Chains A and B, each alone.
Chain A
Amino acid sequence: MKTRNILLPAATAGILALTLSACGGGGGGSTSGGGGGDAASQGLDGRGPITYVQGKDNSNVVRPLIEKWNAAHPNEKVTFKEQTDQADQQHDDLVQHFQAKDAGYDVASVDVVWTAEFAAKGWLQPLKDKMALDTSEMLKPTVTAASYKGTLYAAPESSDGGILYYRKDLVPTPPKTWDEMMSMCSIAKSKNIGCYSGQFKKYEGLTVNASEAINSAGGAVLDADGKPNLLTAEAKAGMANLTKAYADGSIPKEAITFQEEESRQAFQDGKLLFLRNWPYVYNLATTEGSSKVKDVLGMTALPGKTGPGASSLGGHSAGISVYSKNKATALDFLKFLTSEENQKFFATQGSLAPVLGKLYDDKELVAKLPYLPVLKTSIENAVPRPVSPFYPAVTKAIQENAYSAIKGEKTVDAALSDMQKSIESASAGQ
């Protein structure tokens, strides 16, 4: 019986251990600590088959492009490795393969907010000297978002920016500034609908909305050196715009449960006068049978302090792994992805915003995607979300404190000072 008493907890421990191992497994390799130096100078002339890694290809854009490439390059074929459609899982998958120095992940599609982290880890091939890429035709903010410390680390592949949707039937002239928009809330009140909403649930979308508020008021989350810069009058004014609007009901109270889809639904049901969202809303709001705003959907740039506001930038860039053996092929493939012809294909087939400025004025494209002119203004004025290798900690700090401030649990001053301290602490390292 004695043995049994000892063995039972041991057996229990066994089951529990599975929990721990599941958590610990992710980091088995321990950090590779900026060891990209050597790898970055190797394989520059290598040619041969490569692999392209990207999240789920929902609208079937990547496969036709790769087929086209493969037909033209029989000796340098590209294989498509498709990840899940969850951004977090894509991120973790890339981290695991890069950490293991996997030469099989030659080119990877990198979300704009991961670029700095991956670059600082030394996993992305700097696109300079022999590996340089011509970015002169591309929209500036997309290039900035793909750079770290002044060096380009990935080729901007697709972009995204926020758009202000409004009700044409109720708003005679769209607002240009935040104050103008707030003054129009009386219209919403008389119609008994909500005035404005973005995405204010505590998740990545809140970081997007809070940074937009701060940037549009002339502030910045991080300064040029990547240090937090939130104790400014501008940042305070930006956050205060949101908290005041939520407190006086201009932003309906349910907006703190909204992600993109919930806010789109509310707008489509005719319950909102203004909506900040991404370009994808246009198609759904104009074609879905249940949409009540089909014929009265207006679009304009996000409102700022005196003119267009500063949208947060979305989108993806294609980066080359430093561990790739065929970097010459990989670079050609990046040029292929960003060529005018294929960028147009991205736009028509997948409704992905192109990174080449001139495509926004292309008549044929604008006829198909009428939001392009507005989106161009949005992206031209866009500010990348805080570019920091500690982005996961930065976004958490913003979400946590912006959420409390909007709900009125904290003053704007306290929220900004806590944000500042949290980001400082995160970038202090350990």
Chain B
Amino acid sequence: MATEVGPTSVKAPASGGAPIHHAPKGVGEDNRIATQGRWAAWLLAPTIIALSVVIVYPIITAIVMSFQKDAGLDPVTGLFTEGGPAGFSNYVNWIFQQCPAPGGGTVECPPGTLGSQFWSATATTFFFTIVTVSLETVLGFWMAVIMARAFKGRSLVRAAVLVPWAIPTAVTAKLWLFIFAFEGIGNKLFNTTVLWTGSEWPARWAVIIADVWKTTPFMALLILAGLQMIPAEVYEAAKVDGASAWQRFRMITLPLVKPALMVAILFRTLDALRMFDLPYILTGGANNTTTLSILVINQIRQGFNAAAALSTITFIIIFIVAFIFVRFLGANVVEQQTGAGKGKK
């Protein structure tokens, strides 16, 4: 929904500016522009209102909550009492890993509290993101190049590739949980006795393998959409000029597919930074597979306000990553939107 606002509002000034070229048309033209502007405002209003209800309001509520203390226990009645304003203490607690001490004040969070897991969860989240997105990009590119060729049964391959993407993540996670069980097919097939979900590196690889299996098709289809926008004539011309296959790939395919590729990587990165279901179901967050989202959910059960602070921190982290992509790496979400849309069909 949010992306739809982009092009409409971006185009408004552009078309508004255009009539200046054939300038001296007089007052009637000015009126027309004004009416158009008002029209646009009316047409946009429902979207803006809907967005503020479903996005702006919850965000503001969450941010307000993050500055409130969680309810504490009244030692006399044994009942919970309202926490009151917290200032930045919720944020400080997460970032500096300070937990409340029994006699008041704070101590460094002991292992076993959620507070002690903030930085390790952040590291885990980035580790998963970097590894899975890299693998998915390489594999997705390879799949896209194959699917872009004309061969018998191409549409069948394209449909088949979509299957893992179409399965809900929770179901995928359950499937892989059975595969990675000690008595599961994973160990049987390779005749090994690896505790896939019970030791640190295997657990991480289990999550990575399952995630790559599930989301590579998404990458492949986005990249495929980009590949198909490259006109065949460019390749023919290059061939006539005697360019080798590698040269054609490096000098034509890569630069021309780059916009689509960057958008695909951006989407996947943002998605991976929020990774929740796969590690939650596969390992329950054990063996260093707790991501930030898992930490947020665990914290919600222990106190909403600290959880609101944590999800605000997560939001800022993801926002910074997205900003870096858009600003410095040239991922252009809006321009490529049509291409991405085609790819999904």
Contact = CB atoms under 8 A, between A and B. Distances in A.
B2 A15 contact: yes
Given A265-B183, A428-B102, A396 B58 contact: no
Interface in A1-48: 3-5, 7-9, 11-21, 23-28, 30-31, 33-34, 36
A12 B183 CA distance: 44
Nearest to B63: A24
Interface in A375-430: 389-390, 392-393, 396-398, 400-401, 403-404, 418-419, 421-422, 424-430
B74 interface: yes
B79 A24 contact: no
A8 B329 CA distance: 13
B114 interface: yes
B78 A120 contact: yes
Interface stretch (A137-145, A249-257, A300-308, A362-370): A249-257
Contact of B80 (A25, A33, A404): A33
Contacts of A424: 101-102
B286 A430 contact: no
Contact of B9 (A7, A20, A429): A7
A191 interface: no
Contacts of A292: none
Contact of B112 (A24, A25, A418): A418
A202 interface: yes
B113 A430 contact: no
A149 interface: yes
B37 interface: no
A9 B326 contact: yes
A257 B197 contact: yes
Contact of B286 (A12, A201, A389): A201
A425 to B, nearest CB: 4
Contacts of B115: 425
A319 to B, nearest CB: 16
A41 B322 CA distance: 53
Contacts of B110: 418, 421-422, 425
Most chain B C-beta atoms within 10 Å of own C-beta, residue among A92, A257, A269, A401: A257
B40 interface: no
A31 B83 contact: yes
A120 B79 contact: yes
B274 A14 contact: no
A403 B112 CA distance: 10
A8 B71 CA distance: 39
Contact of A9 (B55, B314, B327): B327
Contacts of A17: 2, 55-56, 58-59, 315
Q: Which secondary structure dominates where chain A touches chain B?
A: helix
Contact of B71 (A4, A15, A33, A201): A33
Interface string B279-315: 0000111100000000011101111111110011011
A203 interface: yes
Contacts, number: 244
Contact count band on A: 35 or more
A401 B301 CA distance: 19
Contacts of B86: 430
A122 to B, nearest CB: 6
Interface in A300-331: none
Contact of A24 (B58, B104, B196): B58
Interface in A173-223: 201-203
A14 B80 contact: no
A148 interface: yes
A429 B78 contact: no
Contacts of B300: 23, 26-27, 92
A36 B1 CA distance: 41
Given A16-B322, A23-B300, A429-B70, A11 B3 contact: yes
Contact of A430 (B6, B69, B312): B69
A266 B182 CA distance: 10
Given A15-B270, A257-B198, A401-B112, A23 B82 contact: no
Most chain B C-beta atoms within 10 Å of own C-beta, residue among A11, A13, A121, A396: A11
A425 B195 contact: no
B100 A4 contact: no
B288 to A, nearest CB: 11
Interface string B189-215: 000010111100000000000000000
B212 to A, nearest CB: 22
A262 interface: yes
A7 to B, nearest CB: 6
9 contacts: A9-B326, A13-B319, A27-B65, A121-B71, A201-B198, A257-B182, A257-B197, A396-B114, A430-B69
5 tightest CB-CB pairs across the interface, nearest first?
A14-B2, A24-B62, A429-B72, A27-B304, A34-B79
